Amino acid sequence: MGILTDSYKASHFLQYPPCQRMIAYGEFRSGFDRDTEDTRMVVYGIRYLLETYLHRQWTIEDVEKADKFYSTHKAPSFTAFPFPKDLFLEFVHNNNGYFPVKLQALPEGTCVHAHVPVYQITSSGQYAALCTFLEVILTMMWYPTTVATLSRRARDVIEAAFEESAEAGAASLLLPSRLHDFGFRGCCTVEQSVIGGAAHLLNFTGTDTLSAAYYVQFELNGGEPVGASIPATEHSVMTAWATERAAIENMIDRFGDGLFACVMDSYDYMRALSEVLPGVAEKKVGRGGFMVLRPDSGNPVEAVLEALRAAEKVFGVDINSKGYKVPRGAGVIQGDGINLTSLSMILSAVLKHGYSAEAVAFGMGGGLLQKVNRDTMSFATKLSHVTYADGTEADIMKSPTGDTGKVSFPGALAVKRVEGVPTVFPAEGGYVSEEEDMLQTVYDCGPVKKEWPLFRELRARIANEWPALPKKANVVSQPLTDKIQNFKRRRQQ
């Protein structure tokens, strides 16, 4: 833990004024991709950080190794860099090696708007100056929360298309599998694939990221499966056979009585649709299964439409009760170039050309697990309150005149629902009872006894809370608004 922070954090214990207590909190300052019309998000990831990092007990050996590192870290001459070695040794001896802070956090899977604190850190006594030492580790909540929010927004787009063009039975059966996680190979590390892949599984069941599906099933869901996939070819499989037809016929022989997918653009995509597909049609129909056509290059909108037209021509279509065409025993999955924009464009075109959304699925790889960053929803941790050594208390607030989006909240904070919307209040003043406060203690100078809900319960929570939240809302209570205004007036005097 001594080196799981930014370099400058190690010196901050010497920079803060002497204090008895310090409080800081973390928040997302904007909606996904700076969206101001929909600022909802799915909060997820604190459990992994707790169990992986905060529950780790420090030893004297760990402190000595960290001290050895810091002894040569100061620029430009590689000399000793400040490091709170004595404080670390103190909590190793007197706090069983656990980092000495209290951490409160929103329940996993809670749906909130931007600016609602997702966690709050409190440090006290001789350890007060360590309050923000863990900021870097805790800030990493940005990643699973951002992926979970992106995945949920994708589900909204797909669900809207289903509501317009698919029958209710098809929607309940198919919608959970319509966005498939193709992102494993695009991740920087296996750990990233686990964290991001699990966040996606809060909203969908479709995944090829086995690391995440396995972790969630056996670590977070009591062994109950949460993610699934189907047999599918890749280009190396298709090109290993003498012909594409032979490769597809092998798939039909082996998997043709169920779901299977074939990539169709190894050589000539249009020829594969117009010549190869008709050639295997009789065999495919005879097996009775469902064939998924996968384009993997070209314009995503046109590639999907061409596959749907080919499926209609070769296998025929049925017209559902909403008047949209559903290919018989066949569909399309587009896994190249998918993001929220292209997904929306494809579905709009599919419906415009008379096909039901149930005929199309999507695979998202880098766009799901890799093309996000901390700025996607502008995550930050800020100090909000100090009690100085003489007992004087002071609320702390960042308020840069050049960027109002980076204004922070003063004081200890609490979160409670107001007409269903999680809203921020001052923790003091009796505005929020302990039972109402959504910021629950998850760590208090060591692990606390806590029963974490199963993953399927998190899914149910999100499915209930997300659509119930308005797309945007004022989440700052009047008491906190008053406190902010009073703070600003005092600063101007």
Q: Is 83 left (phi over 0), alpha (psi -120 to 50) or beta?
A: beta
For the stretch 484-493, pLDDT in tens is 988 887 776 5
Q: Is 34 annotated as a binding residue?
A: no
CB atoms within 10 A of CB 357: 27
CA dist., res. 299 & res. 316, Å (int): 24
CB atoms within 10 A of CB 222: 10
Q: Write the CB contacts of 2 (distance below 8 Å, at least 6 apart in sequence).
A: 10, 58, 62, 63, 66, 67, 69, 70, 83, 88
- Domain ranges in the chain are 15-57+100-140+389-492, 165-369
**Cβ distance 87 to 130 under 8 Å?**
yes
Q: Confirm or reject CATH 3.20.20.70 for domain 165-369, answering yes or no.
A: yes
Q: What is the pTM of this model?
A: 0.96
For the stretch 194-219, pLDDT in tens is 999 999 999 999 999 999 999 999 99
Which CATH architecture describes the domain 15-57+100-140+389-492? Alpha-Beta Barrel (3.20)
Q: Is 318 annotated as a binding residue?
A: no
CA dist., res. 41 & res. 112, Å (int): 6
Percent of the chain with pLDDT over 70: 99
**Cβ distance 23 to 121 under 8 Å?**
yes
Common-topology check for domains 15-57+100-140+389-492 and 165-369: no
Q: Is 295 annotated as a binding residue?
A: yes
CA dist., res. 493 & res. 488, Å (int): 9
pLDDT of residue 492: 66
Q: Is 185 annotated as a binding residue?
A: yes
Q: Is 56 annotated as a binding residue?
A: no
Q: Is 208 annotated as a binding residue?
A: yes
User: What stretches of 70-113 adopt beta strand conformation (E)?
Assistant: 102-105, 111-113
Q: Which residues in the chain land under pLDDT 70?
A: 1, 402-404, 492-493
Percent of the chain with pLDDT over 90: 94
CA dist., res. 225 & res. 296, Å (int): 29
